[in-house]
Amino acid sequence: MQLTSIDPQPWSYAQGALVTGADRVLFISGQVPEAPDGTVPDDFDSQCRLAWRNVLTVLGEAGMTERHLVKVTIFLSDRSYREANGRIRREVLGDHCPALTIIITGIYDEAWLLEIEAVAAA
Q: For 74-115, what is each residue's pLDDT tens digit?
A: 999 999 999 999 999 999 999 999 999 999 999 999 999 999
Mean pLDDT of all residues in 54-68:
98
Residue 94's identity, in one-letter code, is G
- CA 34 vs CA 43, 62, 83, 111, 116: distances in Å: 12, 20, 21, 9, 12
Asked if 118 contacts 28 with a C-beta cutoff of 8 angstroms, the reply is yes
Residue 3 confidence (pLDDT): 74
**Mean pLDDT, all residues of the chain:** 94
- pTM exceeding the 0.85 threshold for the entire prediction: yes
The angle that helices 44-61 and 82-93 make with each other, rounded to 10 degrees, is: 30
Per-residue pLDDT reduced to its tens digit, 30-53:
999 999 999 999 999 999 999 999
